[in-house]
Structure 1
Amino acid sequence: MGAGQMDRYTPVFAITQAAELSDMHPQTLRQYDRIGLVSPQRTSGNTRRYSLHDVEQLREVARLSAEGLSLEGIRRVLQLENRVRELQARVRELERALSDELLSRPERRVFAAGAAGEVISMRRGARMRRSAEVVVWRPEL
């Protein structure tokens, strides 16, 4: 992202705006920051600045609290959800890297399915030898 561009993690909301957007009292946001539940970024003057992501997290805290979860339970749920998002992003990154690597190789391989369902790696342009075997499948009754 270039200079001046914003995303959902850009800290733009003061505490009063974030409290209004999350339908909470500013003191509640301060408490959540103190206990590490939702911790906004700080400006050079040490004032809190909330991002859209922080506001979404505050709404999630309110929802989970209304469902009866303790603050510690909510903290754990948020940690796990954040970790899942990180891992999903990493998987997408690795999938792109793998795809780029496979496409950049002139000797890339072709894969086929064997008679027993196994994956067989073949050289590009090669053909599978056909088998005259007949496989009968009978479902278990």
Structure 2
Amino acid sequence: MDENTRVFVISTAAELAGMHPQTLRQYDRLGLVSPGRTPGRSRRYSMRDVARLREIADLGAEGVNLEGIRRILALEDTVRALESRVGDLESALADELLNRPGRRVFAAGLAGDVISMRAGTRTRRSNQMVIWRPLDK
């Protein structure tokens, strides 16, 4: 069974999460968990929803209020979406580099300027060391 398949009625989801069904209704109203709906408008929860409910319970047990929990969950969702986007962009870049050998690659210079480079070359790095000593007063 897929973790996103919405199969649990509210009483089963509440039992799995260790909560009262009324708590799940409140979390639905607040947007903390968004269960699916049947044509008859009854709620259906997935294993992912139950895991999220457990995470909400853990955060609440640590003393985080509902608004804080909402913000934490929103930030976690944003991070997951951004990680997915970065993965997509890395794949697209790798495909582009494989499909167009010999194309130019760009790097950032010390002053933040863009340096055009041939594929397979590296920037020269400075090995200089700067020693700083404060003046004695």
- Report the TM range for the smaller structure's normalisation: 0.7 to 0.9
Give 1:137's aligned residue. Answer: 129
Of 58, 65, 77 in structure 2, the residue corresponding to residue 63 of structure 1 is: 58
Is 1:98–2:90 an aligned residue pair? no
Judging changes above 3 Å, is the alpha-carbon distance between structure 1 residues 95 and 35 closer, same or farther for their aligned structure 2 residues?
Answer: same
Give the drift of 1:140. Answer: 4.0
Structure 2 residues without counterparts, runs of 5 or longer: none
Give 2:3's aligned residue. Answer: 8
Of 9, 15, 26 in structure 2, the residue corresponding to residue 31 of structure 1 is: 26
Q: What code does the residue aligned with 2:58 have?
A: R
Pairwise CA RMSD of aligned residues? 3.3
Give 1:73's aligned residue. Answer: 68
Q: What code does the residue aligned with 1:39 have?
A: S
Q: Percent same amino acid among aligned pairs?
A: 63
Give the drift of 1:66. Answer: 0.7
Judging changes above 3 Å, is the alpha-carbon distance between structure 1 residues 102 and 137 closer, same or farther for their aligned structure 2 residues?
Answer: same
Judging changes above 3 Å, is the alpha-carbon distance between structure 1 residues 139 and 8 closer, same or farther for their aligned structure 2 residues?
Answer: farther
Q: Residue 34 of structure 2: SS of its match in structure 1?
A: coil
Give the drift of 1:119. Answer: 8.8
Give the drift of 1:122. Answer: 4.0
Cα distance per residue 1:85-120 (max 9 Å; x no partner): 1111111111111111111113234789x9xxx996
Please give the alpha-carbon distance, in whole angstroms, between the structure 2 residues aligned to 1:122 and 1:35: 52
Give the drift of 1:137. Answer: 2.5
Judging changes above 3 Å, is the alpha-carbon distance between structure 1 residues 120 and 27 closer, same or farther for their aligned structure 2 residues?
Answer: same
Give the drift of 1:25. Answer: 1.3
TM-score between both structures, scaled by the size of structure 1: 0.74
